[in-house]
């Protein structure tokens, strides 16, 4: 089942389009990453789907419910709010109770305690939010998102501003929630986090989804050139001229005396390159293709669009 389906979503502020025909489908059970530069429109998107702001045009639905029944959609969705805007004079449990009542969700003490436990705040319910560390506040806002047991969670930068250990804890909680069956849309500027946690991901650029898929699918789509890490030992220096005679269109970056990065058009060049190096008298210790990370793909994508070129020159 489709957990979220969005078609041609537009949002203009004045004459300026922020969302410009955004299409997106998230399947039930997915942990889905949503990435884009500052100001790309990620929060605007979340605010529209969660009913905080109005779209300019387009359509969306969640778990079979259309926008016509926005109240039903709101029951299905949980949003992790900004941790810095919580009522800090309240005790954590009272805060959740209050927010549950506002959401018409169960505010039963046992339920609230079990929510606190599920986010690692078992013994903190009676403490005032003001005394919480930022990491604890993030956990509490995750608990807030879970009020009413929503099927679809929107987590907008849940680990921003956290130290690595606290970020890891939140990441583990997110993974656990997904394994328990929650469908999750996660935004983050930590692309490594998205790469590690998410089944599929979308790159938002200029108000549209420019790429979408699993990391493997995005890698296949983006891997237009191959980068090889070559480690070797050679008595005679290997010059750029020599390398260009072996493979004319090669781009070369010498990393150390014994290691270089070569970029070429296809992996098929590797046998010829290796045998030529051996013939030259070099001992080749390894030729390793470098796998593209989400960060590589992200920069490739936005650079292509910004320079208006069809294909980025990825020379080193």
Ligand X SMILES: Nc1ncnc2c1ncn2[C@@H]1O[C@H](COP(=O)(O)OP(=O)(O)OP(=O)(O)O)[C@@H](O)[C@H]1O
Smallest separation (angstroms) from ligand X to the CB of 184: 17
Least spacing, CB of residue 253 vs ligand X, in Å = 32
**Sheet architecture: strand order including 16-27:** 16-27, 2-13, 57-62, 65-66
Question: What 3 state SS string does 75-120 have?
Answer: HHEEEECCHHHCCCCCEHHHHHHHHHHHCCCCCCHHHHHHHHHHCC
Tokens of 81: 């709010």
Specify the stretch interacting with ligand X by CB under 6 A; choose among 32-40, 162-170, 171-179, 248-256.
32-40
Report the nearest approach of ligand X to the CB of residue 70 (Å): 20
In whole angstroms, give the CA distance from residue 13 to residue 53: 11
Nearest to ligand X of 42, 97 (CB atom): 42
Q: Smaller CB distance to ligand X: residue 29 or 81?
A: 81
Pick the piece of the chain touching ligand X (CB under 6 A) from 42-50, 165-173, 191-199, 304-312. Answer: 42-50
Cα-based distances in Å from 307 to 239, 264, 294, 312: 32, 22, 20, 9
Kind and range of the H or E run holding 31:
strand 31-35
* Host H or E run for residue 311: none
CB of 141 to ligand X, least distance (A): 16
In the bound state with ligand X, the residue whose beta carbon lies nearer, of 39 and 308, is 39
**Binding residue (CB under 6 A) for ligand X from 22, 31, 33, 41:** 41
Min CB(202)–ligand X separation in Å: 12
188 touches ligand X (CB under 6 A):
no
Instruction: Tell me how crowded residue 194 is: count the other CB atoms within 10 A of its CB.
Output: 24
Choose between 43 and 106: whose C-beta lies nearer to ligand X: 43
**What spatial distance separates the first Cα and last Cα of the chain, rounded to whole Å?**
44
Tokens describing residue 270: 């590797």
CB of 119 to ligand X, least distance (A): 23
The one among 9, 22, 24, 42 contacting ligand X by CB under 6 A: 42
How many other C-beta atoms can be found within 10 angstroms of the C-beta atom of residue 302?
A: 18
Residue with tokens 């390793």: 288
- Could you give the CA distance from residue 5 to residue 15 in angstroms, rounded to a whole number? 26
| Among 4, 22, 35, 44, interactor with ligand X by CB under 6 A | 44
Among 3, 35, 40, 287, indicate the residue that binds ligand X (CB under 6 A). 40
The residues in 2-31 that bind ligand X, with binding defined as CB under 6 A, are 13, 18
Q: Does 171 bind ligand X (CB under 6 A)?
A: no
Member of 43, 65, 254, 314 binding ligand X (CB under 6 A): 43
**Least Å from the CB of residue 52 to ligand X:** 11
Measured from the CB atom, the residue of 18 and 26 that comes closer to ligand X is 18
**Contact between 39 and ligand X per CB under 6 A:** yes
Distance, CA of 313 to CA of 120 (rounded, Å): 47
d(CA 116, CA 101): 16
Footprint of ligand X (CB under 6 A): 13, 18, 36, 38-44
């Amino acid at each position: 089942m489709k957990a979220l389906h969005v078609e041609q979503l537009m949002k203009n502020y004045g004459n300026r389009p922020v969302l410009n025909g955004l299409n997106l489908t998230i399947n039930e059970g997915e942990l889905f990453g949503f990435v884009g530069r500052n100001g790309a429109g990620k929060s605007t998107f979340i605010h529209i789907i969660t009913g905080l702001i109005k779209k300019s045009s387009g359509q969306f639905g969640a778990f079979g419910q259309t926008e016509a029944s926005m109240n039903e959609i709101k029951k299905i969705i949980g949003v992790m709010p900004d941790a810095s805007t919580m009522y800090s004079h309240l005790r954590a449990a009272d805060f959740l109770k209050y927010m549950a009542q506002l959401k018409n969700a169960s505010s039963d003490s046992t339920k609230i305690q079990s929510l606190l436990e599920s986010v690692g705040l078992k013994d903190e319910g009676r403490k005032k939010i003001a005394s919480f560390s930022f990491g604890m506040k993030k956990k509490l806002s995750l608990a807030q998102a879970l009020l009413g047991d929503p099927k679809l969670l929107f987590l907008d930068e849940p680990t921003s501003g956290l130290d690595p250990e606290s970020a890891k804890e939140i990441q583990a909680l997110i993974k656990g929630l997904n394994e328990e069956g929650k469908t999750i849309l996660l935004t983050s500027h930590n692309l490594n986090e998205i790469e590690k946690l998410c089944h599929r991901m979308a790159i938002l650029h200029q108000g549209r989804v420019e790429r979408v898929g699993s990391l493997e699918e995005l890698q296949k789509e983006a891997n237009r050139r191959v980068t090889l890490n070559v480690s070797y030992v050679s008595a005679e220096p290997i010059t750029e001229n020599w390398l260009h005679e072996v493979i004319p269109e090669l781009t070369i970056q010498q990393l150390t005396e014994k290691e270089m990065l070569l970029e070429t058009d296809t992996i098929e060049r590797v046998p010829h390159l290796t045998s030529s190096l051996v013939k030259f008298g070099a001992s080749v210790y390894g030729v390793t293709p470098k796998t593209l990370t989400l960060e590589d793909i992200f920069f490739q994508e936005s650079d292509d669009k910004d320079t208006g070129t069809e294909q980025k020159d990825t020379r080193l």
